[in-house]
């Protein structure tokens, strides 16, 4: 899976868990918290990411996923 596919999948997960989001506002550098991702939504997003990409995320790493770009970087690293 390449970077574009990872980003597309993450955007789909975000829209699924925060239905008020519009795809055009989800840019690589935007802070997820500013998109309305609260702690409950974030926990569901993490579960969806684990399922979609086939790995378990480490607790300390989860705190680093503040933007879409950081999340894509993390997934790429885990899939190598």
Distance between CA 22 and CA 15 in Å, rounded? Answer: 7
Q: What domain count does the chain have?
A: 1
CATH number for position 31: 1.10.1200.10
What range does the domain containing 20 cover?
A: 3-78
Confidence at residue 63, expressed as pLDDT on a 0 to 100 scale: 87
* Tens digits of residue pLDDT in 35-64: 989 889 999 999 999 999 999 998 888 989
Confidence at residue 72, expressed as pLDDT on a 0 to 100 scale: 97
Q: How many CA atoms lie within 13 Å of 35's alpha carbon, on the beta-carbon side?
A: 26
Which residue's structure tokens are 């999948």? 9
Q: In degrees rounded to 5, what are phi and psi of residue 14?
A: -60, -45
Distance between CA 12 and CA 63 in Å, rounded? Answer: 21
pTM (two decimals): 0.92
What are the beta bridge partners of residue 31? 67
* Tens digits of residue pLDDT in 8-28: 999 999 999 998 999 999 999
């Amino acid at each position: 899976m390449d970077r574009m596919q990872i980003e597309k999948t993450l955007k789909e997960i975000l829209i699924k868990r925060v239905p008020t989001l519009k795809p055009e506002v989800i840019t690589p550098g935007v802070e997820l918290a500013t998109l309305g991702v609260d702690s409950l939504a974030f926990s569901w997003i993490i579960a969806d990411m684990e399922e979609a990409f086939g790995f378990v995320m480490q607790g300390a790493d989860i705190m680093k996923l503040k933007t879409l770009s950081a999340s894509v970087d993390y997934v790429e690293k885990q899939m190598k």
